[in-house]
Amino acid sequence: MEISSASNLCLHLISCAFQRCRLSLQLCRISAVLKSLSPSILQISISDTGIGSCLEEFQDLNCSSIIAAEFWDGILSVKTTAICDDEIYHYHLNLRKNISSSRTLTRLPSNPKNGLKFSGTEVYLSISESIDVLVSEINHFFQKIMILNIPNIAIEVVTEREDIPGSRCENVFLANKSNPGPLSTSNVECLKSGLEDYVSRHGNSLTQKCNTCFATSERLKVGSGIACSTENHKSSGLMMEVVVIISELESKCPCFRECSSKTEVLYFKDFTPCSISHSTLNVLSTIDWQSYGLTLENVVDQGVCVLEWGDSPSHSQIDMVLHCYNKQYPMHKTQPEQHLIKKAFTAALNNLKETHPGILRSAHALKICSHAPDLARSIAGLILSSNDPDFQGECFSLLGLESREIGANAVEDCIQEKIVSVIEMNDRKPRQRNVVAPSLFEDDCDHDSNYQDKEYEEGEDEFLYLD
Amino acid sequence: MKFFTDREICYADILPPSEVRARIEVAVLNFLKILTCADPAISDLLLINRKSSNRRVSQGLLTDDDTWIFLSRSFCKRSLMRANAAKAFIRVWKVMEMCFKILLQEKRVTQRELFYKLLCVSPDCFSSQLQVNRTIQDVVSLLRCSRFSLGIMASSRGIVAGRLLVQEPEKEMVDCSECGSSGYAISGDLNLLDRLVMKTDARYIIIVEKHAIFQRLAEDRVFNHIPTILITARGYPDIATRFLLHRMSRTFPELPIMALVDWNPAGLAILCTFKFGSIGMGLEAYRYACNVKWLGLRGDDLQLIPEESFVSLKPRDLQIAKSLMSSETLQEKHREELALMVQSGKRAELEALYFHGYDYLGKYIAKKIVQANYI
């Protein structure tokens, strides 16, 4: 793995700590302590109470550029212990050399655990970086990670400037501040509530939920989808999780974003926020957005991935997050699989459609729905103008209406609602399956009759008859 | 004698209003049942195909005289689920609703009146008379009842003149030979036409294609020289005129019916419509086919016409000719005449005979009839 800056090195080490805590399934803590010894020297300690490290995650780092530029001396001091270990192991890793075989791993004396059962890791290093720059990067990183909303991890960032007494500062990040779920909640459920929280705070611009826009939870419509590689597949254990949220914003909210016709696709790979790859971007443009009533105009890669929509309703905002990860540890390089990404996105969009009738209607369904009022009016008109009470009674009973509630509007609304629900139900079905509706007078269609499944084409008459 | 499979024929019944309303109510109930069942759907409308591909011919076994076309069991559908054609689906329901209300009020309307009513109530759905007419035919196809049963009166263009006495129920007897050149107007009310009492001493019935020719013949009282009944639809045959002609043919079966048309494919097409029926009204009008013979203008009359009166056939004429040629009902002799028309590339109107004087037409007709020169 290529490390391009000292900050990135720290973030990578924090990310590894995060993985170890996630896999622990117990309540864990990550502490990042930053001490500036002088304006440009930082002593960093990253400790966690997750599962013990197997050191592989440190050994394939390529830090030649930062070592050459003297931002780091290449030395990592690592203390780690697994729950079943009797000792706390201590290592010095020297990553100065580029080739892993010539890298040195020095084992230092271990500490006994005296029968206590715990696990964790501590990593020490010194880098040349401004504390403010690093703190800002780390905070930003953790804010993003909060979207994953992993419930069992508490994060603490401590900063201290040695030359300024009393400058010790602590910042704590806790998942699930507003809606704590049980520790056993699946990753995708955590991701859902994490994104909900992010969207309701207008993407980290607020510390609390915006009450102007999201006083009620109905303003947020959430859908999620997952796709995973099969057992026998070469990259088994691969998981793709997608959450899509459609929110209705209030124009009087000061945070009302004018550009609601854009969606930033948040991307996580192996529980780390990162920028989306080109191949993944390409997959996004192959999704059949039209069948959800969305027109994708452009996919922009400006470091973050932005989808630009045409024709979106002005008060609606779409937010999306994609998380690709490998369930196994240690993490092999996760290569997101294109078909799985598409599958996960489609599953999330379909989930949204199913749980919230009326949204993401395809252009086709919207067009048909526009005729529903006319059809309902006609049918209602036929029922109500009849002079046969038995016929009317049977119609009302089919519609589930009590005779005392019969006003013209009630009948019409009832029929329209049922028509729209059929249209939406068909809209949720995969396109390939032809929806074959029964005909009005079934007995007429003999099986041996010449049934043409064609639309009736006008203009084939021999003459223009006006009789 | 005729042989045909009853199952093949599709027809529109002539039904009393209560029966039509009942069919519409069944349609609504079926629609609601399908909409509210466990696996709900919006039912499609299955219509009998009104295209030449669904046209069948009933051929008289012994003679050609009893041939008529009908529509068979080929279906097309209108569906709400096809976004581009959803409006056509809605239109069918709108017309059904309107007819249902009209029948309840025990009224009758013309297609024109229906168009204006629909335009008021559902302006987004209907944009032209033609669209309304086609939708009416859709309803006829769907419910299998005649247009007249739906409460829609045909506005008739037809007129009759000549040796015919006609009495409408509870009215005075009308002598069609005393109606002048404007003749007796044929009502669009098929019920009324069905109850007309008719008497004649004519020996022939002549269908005249054009109004101007009809007027000339009526004014000259040609029907007194040769005892005839003159009838015209003033162009393409409307159903009321065909209905009355058919009634006449049944009431006076000994009277041969012959047609006087221009020498062009359109003229022959009009003759064929009276003779066999049409696809457009195929579901109900198959009943009104009559045995019509071709009096004139024909190929052997062309020598009577000056060269200058001939005009080139237009593309539309050729289209009609092609369509007629491909029809298996066309008689051999008519086919030959048509081939001659196409070959010569020319057409001529009856008025060309006025070259010989305004009274020539009557003489021409008389001569041909006496010589039994009709095919």
- Coil, strand, or helix at residue A348? helix
Contact B271, B294 (CB under 8 A): yes
Residue A453 has pLDDT above 70, yes or no: no
Kindly indicate the confidence band of residue A330, based on its pLDDT and cuts at 50, 70 and 90.
Answer: low
Query: Taking CA atoms, what residue in B is nearest to A374?
Result: B90
DSSP states of A259-278 as a string?
Answer: -TTEEEEEEEETTEE-PPPH
Burial of A107 (0-12, 13-18, 19+ CB in 10 A): exposed
Radius of gyration of chain B (CA): 22
A290 touching B (Cβ < 8 Å): no
Which region among A175-184, A246-255, A419-428 has the lowest average model confidence (pLDDT)?
Answer: A175-184
Radius of gyration of chain A (CA): 30
Nearest to A371 among B74, B87, B97 (CB): B87
**In percent, how much of chain A has pLDDT > 70?**
83
Which of B71, B75, B135 would best serve as a mutation to test chain A binding (most A beta carbons within 10 A)?
B75
Mean pLDDT of A306-326: 84
Q: What pLDDT does residue A436 have?
A: 65
Residue A327 has pLDDT above 50, yes or no: yes
Q: What pLDDT does residue A107 have?
A: 87
Cα dihedral value A213, A218, A219, A222, nearest 10: 130
A415 contacts B77? CB cut-off 8 A = no
Q: What is the DSSP letter of A51?
A: S
The CA distance from A386 to the nearest CA of chain B, in Å, is 8
A118-145: pLDDT as tens digits: 899 999 999 888 888 888 888 888 888 8
Question: Distance (Å, rounded) from C-alpha A396 to C-alpha A402?
Answer: 7
DSSP states of B121-165 as a string?
Answer: H-TTT---HHHHHHHHHHHHHHHTB-TGGGTEEPPP--EEEESEE
Nearest to A399 among B36, B46, B90 (CB): B36
Nearest to B86 among A368, A425, A458 (CB): A368
A107 touching B (Cβ < 8 Å): no
Kindly indicate the confidence band of residue A459, based on its pLDDT and cuts at 50, 70 and 90.
Answer: very low
A447 touching B (Cβ < 8 Å): no
Kindly indicate the confidence band of residue A231, based on its pLDDT and cuts at 50, 70 and 90.
Answer: low
Instruction: Please state the length of chain A.
Output: 467
ipTM for this prediction: 0.79
A383 contacts B28? CB cut-off 8 A = yes
A443 touching B (Cβ < 8 Å): no
- For residue B297, whether the previous peptide bond is cis, meaning omega lies within 30 degrees of 0, is yes
Q: What pLDDT does residue A460 have?
A: 39
The CA distance from B368 to the nearest CA of chain A, in Å, is 30
Q: Is the dihedral of CA B97, B99, B103, B107 positive or negative?
A: positive
Which region among A88-97, A208-217, A228-237, B305-314 has the lowest average model confidence (pLDDT)?
Answer: A228-237
B77 contacts A453? CB cut-off 8 A = yes
A388 contacts B25? CB cut-off 8 A = yes
A368-413: pLDDT as tens digits: 999 999 999 999 999 999 999 999 999 999 999 887 667 888 899 9
Nearest to A465 among B31, B41, B278 (CB): B278
Which of B10, B30, B97 would best serve as a mutation to test chain A binding (most A beta carbons within 10 A)?
B97
B43 contacts A438? CB cut-off 8 A = yes
Facing residues of A125 across strands? A44
A274 touching B (Cβ < 8 Å): no
The CA distance from B87 to the nearest CA of chain A, in Å, is 7
Query: Taking CA atoms, what residue in A is nearest to B54?
Result: A450
Write down the residue that tokens 């008389």 correspond to: B366
> Which residues in B lie closer than 8 A to residue A458 (C-beta atoms)?
134
Write down the residue that tokens 């944009």 correspond to: B127
Kindly indicate the confidence band of residue A182, based on its pLDDT and cuts at 50, 70 and 90.
Answer: low
DSSP states of A384-445 as a string?
Answer: HH-S-HHHHHHHHHHHT--GGG--HHHHHHHHHHHHHHHHHHHHHS-TTS---PPBSSGGG-
Question: Distance (Å, rounded) from C-alpha A87 to C-alpha A118?
Answer: 10
Q: The whole model's pTM is what?
A: 0.72
Q: What pLDDT does residue A366 have?
A: 87
Q: What is the DSSP letter of B196?
A: -
| H or E element in which residue A309 lies | strand A305-310
Q: What pLDDT does residue A466 have?
A: 34
Q: Which listed residue (B11, B116, B236, B354) is catalytic? A: B116
Q: What are A298's two structure tokens?
A: 């452009």
> Which residues in B lie closer than 8 A to residue A378 (C-beta atoms)?
90, 93-94, 96-97
Contact A366, A293 (CB under 8 A): yes
A97 touching B (Cβ < 8 Å): no
A35-61: pLDDT as tens digits: 888 877 889 999 999 898 888 778 778
Nearest to B32 among A375, A398, A445 (CB): A398
Nearest to B79 among A381, A383, A437 (CB): A437
Which of A290, A378, A420 would best serve as a mutation to test chain B binding (most B beta carbons within 10 A)?
A378
> Which residues in B lie closer than 8 A to residue A440 (C-beta atoms)?
27, 30-31, 34, 43-46, 142
Q: What are B286's two structure tokens?
A: 């198959």
B286 is catalytic: no
Nearest to B81 among A368, A440, A453 (CB): A368
**Residue A456: alpha-carbon gap to chain centroid:** 46
A375 contacts B33? CB cut-off 8 A = no
Question: Distance (Å, rounded) from C-alpha B4 to C-alpha B20?
Answer: 28
A390 touching B (Cβ < 8 Å): no
Kindly indicate the confidence band of residue A250, based on its pLDDT and cuts at 50, 70 and 90.
Answer: confident
B278 contacts A462? CB cut-off 8 A = yes
B76 contacts A454? CB cut-off 8 A = yes
> Which residues in B lie closer than 8 A to residue A467 (C-beta atoms)?
154, 236-240, 281
A111 touching B (Cβ < 8 Å): no
Which of A456, A458, A461 would best serve as a mutation to test chain B binding (most B beta carbons within 10 A)?
A456
Residue A11 CB contacts under 8 Å (≥ 6 apart), including other chains? A137, A138, A141, A272
Provide the total of helices (H) and of strands (E) in chain B, helices listed first. Answer: 13, 17
Q: Is the dihedral of CA B35, B37, B41, B44 positive or negative?
A: negative
C-alpha triplet A232, A238, A242: angle, nearest 5°: 135
Residue A379 CB contacts under 8 Å (≥ 6 apart), including other chains? A415, B28, B31, B32, B93
Question: Distance (Å, rounded) from C-alpha A299 to C-alpha A308?
Answer: 6
| Comparison of pLDDT for A419 and B156, the residue scoring more | A419
Kindly indicate the confidence band of residue A257, based on its pLDDT and cuts at 50, 70 and 90.
Answer: low
Q: What pLDDT does residue A320 have?
A: 93
The CA distance from B45 to the nearest CA of chain A, in Å, is 6
B28 contacts A382? CB cut-off 8 A = yes
The CA distance from B358 to the nearest CA of chain A, in Å, is 32
- H-type helices in B63-143, by residue range? 86-104, 111-121, 129-143
Between chain A and chain B, the number of residue pairs with CB atoms below 8 A apart is 184
Instruction: State which residues of chain B have pLDDT below 50.
Output: 1-2
Mean pLDDT over the full length of chain A: 81
> Which residues in B lie closer than 8 A to residue A399 (C-beta atoms)?
32, 36
Q: What pLDDT does residue A239 have?
A: 87
The CA distance from B130 to the nearest CA of chain A, in Å, is 8
- For residue B253, whether the previous peptide bond is cis, meaning omega lies within 30 degrees of 0, is no
- H-type helices in A94-186, by residue range? 131-145
Distances (CA, A) of B65 to A394, A417, B61, B330: 51, 57, 9, 11
B54 contacts A450? CB cut-off 8 A = yes
Query: Taking CA atoms, what residue in A is nearest to B321?
Result: A462
A2 touching B (Cβ < 8 Å): no
